[in-house]
A and B are shown apart, each in its own frame.
Chain A
Amino acid sequence: MSKTILIVDDSATMILSVKSNLEMNGFKVETAGDGVQALSKLKSGIKPDLIITDINMPNMGGLELIQAVRALPGFRFTPILTLTTESQSAKRDEGKKLGATGWLVKPVDGADLIKVIKQVLPGA
């Protein structure tokens, strides 16, 4: 059974690059442009096995999204990875404190991405 991954990023380019990479590796991909969109997707019944979210986004940023996701029934334990830049190590840690599982560093290398996903997502 293929796993579903939700990518949240306000950059269409970033979404596209991650998305194509994931789809090539047999994942189903859902996307959202910010935290608010992501939340409404989750509330509408889409149940990703993993969420990858950017930190800085309009409307609702990644950190806020993590908190909101953790509060949703059914998403208490969903692995969440933040997409951070090299310099955002503080945000990474903050994300982790708020309930993220780990982080990816932009630009995301394709092989790294799959490696990390296989590490945090049993059965991937």
Chain B
Amino acid sequence: MSLEFKKNQVHFKDMVGVEDAEELLEWLQKTPAAKVDFSACTHLHPANLQVLMAASPSIMVWPADAAFSAWLQSALDQHEDPY
């Protein structure tokens, strides 16, 4: 399982596939203060990314891979304040 739900946290593991997006969306719908942990994530299908962008949960840990992390931050980092 690439998605692990623990209370209000979701852990993304390895490669999160397109089919997972539905479950993620359902979970986010009923979890208002959701938190996301990308530490073990290497890729996620953009369907999941869209769901995350729409729900804007708080991100606890970004992925280890710097380039991947930069991609995700461009989409999900709400607190970016360029100077």
Contacts and interface: CB of A to CB of B under 8 A. Distances in A.
Contacts, number: 11
A45 interface: no
A77 B43 contact: no
Contacts of A77: 17-19
Interface string A2-44: 0000000000000000000000000000000000000000000
Interface in B1-52: 14-15, 17-19, 42-43, 45
* Size band of the interface chain A makes with B: under 10
Interface in B54-80: none
Interface residues of B, number: 8
A74 B19 CA distance: 8
Q: Chain A binding site: helix, strand, loop or mixed by DSSP?
A: loop
Nearest to A49: B17
Nearest to A1: B14
A77 B42 CA distance: 20
B19 A123 contact: no
Contacts of B18: 77
B15 A122 contact: yes
B43 A122 contact: yes
Contacts of A123: 14-15, 42-43
A77 B18 CA distance: 7
Contacts of A122: 15, 43, 45
Nearest to A77: B18
Nearest to A74: B19
6 contacts: A74-B19, A77-B18, A77-B19, A122-B43, A123-B14, A123-B43
Given A77-B18, A123-B14, 9 more contacts: A74-B19, A77-B17, A77-B19, A122-B15, A122-B43, A122-B45, A123-B15, A123-B42, A123-B43
